[in-house]
Amino acid sequence: MTWNTADIPDLTGRRALVTGATSGLGYETALELLRHGADVLIGARNPEKAAQVAQDLTQASGREPAVVELDLADLTSVEKAADQVVKSYDKLDLLVNNAGVMATPYRQTADGFELQLGTNHLGHFALTGRLLPLLLKAPSSRVVTVSSFMHTTARGIDATDFRRPEQGYSKWVAYGKSKLANVLFMLELDRRARAAGVDLLSAGAHPGYAATHLQAAGPELAGRAFEVRMWAGVNKLVAQSAAAGAWPSLYAATTPDMPPGGYYGPRFLGFRGAPTTAWLTRTARNPALAERLWAWSVEATGVDPTLTVPR
């Protein structure tokens, strides 16, 4: 498969929301969507930073995005952001669940969940559920959920992981579980959309190894300056650019006639290059586990996504 951003079709008239769009993969995803005619909303936790990024995106693309204040680690913020979008727009064609944290020291979300699962999965689960009525008003809408090849390190997940205590905490184990949750959610959303007969496509992507601030964010939070410098050096040696890392997400978001439930990543050993179909573990493809995760997520967030066409 050969693909680059020149293959993205005209997106005029389509509206997209990209989470985590103030840097890295999210910024590059939002930029290409704008360049190809989409109306883009950028979800961001920091309003001041988001305002500056919106200016940068406008200058780079010639089109101005809208800003939605959104903190995925706070379910009240997720509810407010979704309400704002639902009240402001008549449809949403594309949701890119991109934002995330990686290998952070032990922290809890505003609602008491382990930070990585709470942000990477539960925040996006709640956001998607609250935006489904708007997504289902658009013809051929899509939800793209960004995972990682690190999902392959997780051998399972259960409800106790949501509120795992600090004792015995492993930041990399928690990250792997959060990325497994992303894939399980993506595939279960696809199954439920097809069973309901709605015109919604759920797909997933991973960026391979891309140079973003994600690698340094965890060490910065822990105050580990040496690790920050180490990751900077590793990125220079082996990582592809954030722009290239966004290609699988953009491919999943924009390619016409995309099969449902597809998962895409870089073609060269899963680390870099043009997007292609990516490998999923047997655990990630377990529908019974995905169904249980969905039920646990409904209980944790209080959001029960409804896949029926609005009248």
147 is catalytic: yes
Contact 263, 205 (CB under 8 A): yes
List CB contacts of 121: < 8 A, sequence separation 6 or more.
178, 181, 182, 185, 297
Strand ranges across the sheet with 200-205: 66-69, 39-44, 15-19, 94-97, 141-146, 200-205, 263-268, 272-277
Q: What is the DSSP letter of 164?
A: -
Catalytic choice (61, 77, 141, 147): 147
What distance in Å separates the CA atoms of residue 244 and residue 168, rounded to the nearest whole number?
A: 36
The token pair at 48 is 């001041």
Catalytic residue among 27, 77, 148, 175: 175
Question: Cα(155)–Cα(232) distance, rounded to whole angstroms?
Answer: 29
User: Which residue of the set 141, 171, 179, 209 is catalytic?
Assistant: 179
| 3-state SS, residue 305 | coil
Q: Please indicate whether residue 179 is annotated as part of the active site.
A: yes
Active-site annotation, residues? 147, 175, 179
